Amino acid sequence: METAALIVALVIALALFFDFTNGFHDTANAMATPIATGALKPKAAVALAAILNLVGAFLSTEVAKTISGGMIREDQISGDVFPSLIFAGLIGAITWNMLTWLLGLPSSSSHALFGGLIGATIVGFGMQGIDFGVVVSKVVLPALLAPLTAGIIAYAVTKIAYAVTRRYDGKPDGRDGFRWGQIFTSSLVALAHGTNDAQKTMGVITLALIAAGWQSAEHHEPQLWVVFSAAAAIALGTYVGGWRIIRTLGKGLTDVKPAQGFAAETSTAATILASSHLGFALSTTQVASGSVIGSGLGRRGSEVRWRTVGRIMVGWLLTLPAAGAVGALAALLVVWSESAGMGMLGVGIDAVIALVIILGLFLRSRRDEVHAGNAMSEVAESGMAVKLEENPPPTRRQRRVLAERARQEAAVRAAEAAAERAAEKAAAKAVAAALAKERLAASQAKVERADRAATSKKAKQDAKPKPKSKGKTK
């Protein structure tokens, strides 16, 4: 009994640590875009997200029921072995979370948890311990549909946002009103994240309590202390801030503008809240990433960095099998120690190995530390509201504006031409008058010269002495 109690205590402690890693791993889902656009300061953003994650954890328990009473057939597994298998599954989930955090990949903490639990259960009990119908309907299908749905919604909302505010096209980003909207939508995403992801840890702890016989298998509702502890753990992790992943989502996928951020967060929040209500344990990271990609495609002239998208998708594909493989290896040690009669030795070895891996990854991250001061070196450098093509096709409104502008310019040109012609006529008249005046003056001068010449000639003639008359000689 003491051994079982110790294992359950270890499971609870490790589950809460997973919840902590989930918090800082998924902070980017809500706060990467408002930090990227300058709507919120980095520290204020993570503090707001932490508070709302805490509140959101109390709003719904449907996802917790999916984990504690659906995916794993705990009623068919021995209560003595199952808590140890949960411990092994958590090791797989935490290891994958820490590795993808180091690489700055926004992978799914939820799928890491599911993969670890599935891998450990298969090794410890076999395929019959998994209800694959639940896995497909409430894990795999949402994983495929949710990012696509969120991306389509974000694409449509972004198109609408830029159509409504088209007057700012080609100008320095004047859509500052969307920054205020981002504060509301990012808060809604953080609240939705609390309603979905915190409950996964509640479900794991409840699963361990049921397996140990400390809670009735007929009631899968998490106990109040479980809700409080899981909410506090994810809120603390959120406040720490996963700055590496914030950098990837904030500027690694596309250059996010305020209207884009508003559209992406609206889509993310709507998708997560709907899934929480239906009990779908989807990945909030995949939803947020799909929304950012959709908003990037929706902004005309925006560039989506498909190489980064490819890396993230590879991480998504590897999450379930990779976490499952680590969980299975950890479960092998548990099964081996149980079969060899060594009791908790396998659990102890798993714990030591997990501690070494976690510390190793953390120390490696310190070599190139990413923090609030350098995660977003390009915050709020919005540039142009819409990156216009060299010769973009004009919209209907732009065509009307251009036609009116051409009509006005034609009228101005006509007036200028008329004024120019009038000026030319006036100048020609002035020139003709000047020429006539010059001709008159020349004619008068000629007459005067002729008069002076005649007068001078007559004077000369008058001045000549008259010849004397010759008389007759006697």
Q: Measured on CA atoms in the order 135, 136, 137, 138, is the torsion positive or negative?
A: positive
Answer whether residue 235 shows pLDDT above 80. Answer: yes
Please state, in angstroms and as integers, the Cα–Cα distance from residue 331 to each residue in 89, 253, 327, 397, 439, following that order. Answer: 7, 37, 6, 65, 120
pLDDT, the chain, mean: 80
Answer whether residue 447 shows pLDDT above 90. Answer: no
Rounded to whole angstroms, the Cα distance separating 341 from 333 reads 12
Rounded to whole angstroms, the Cα distance separating 3 from 212 reads 11
Residue type, 131: D
List 72's β-bridge partners, or say none: 130
- Position 412 scores a pLDDT of 92
Mean pLDDT, rounded, for 338-362: 85
Give per-residue pLDDT as tens, 383-441. Answer: 444 554 555 566 677 788 888 889 999 999 999 999 999 999 898 888 888 888 888 88
Tell me which residue has tokens 């979370």. 97
Report pTM. 0.71
DSSP 130: B
Higher pLDDT, 160 or 273: 160
Tally of CB atoms within 10 A around 194: 32
Where is average pLDDT lowest: 167-181, 324-338, 342-356? Answer: 167-181
Rounded to whole angstroms, the Cα distance separating 139 from 316 reads 13
- Position 91 scores a pLDDT of 93
Residue partners of 45: CB distance under 8 A and separation at least 6: 31, 34, 35, 186
- Position 379 scores a pLDDT of 42
CB burial string 399-434: b at 16+ within 10 A, e below: eeeeeeeeeeeeeeeeeeeeeeeeeeeeeeeeeeee
Give me the DSSP letters along 264-278.
HHHHHHHHHHHHHHH
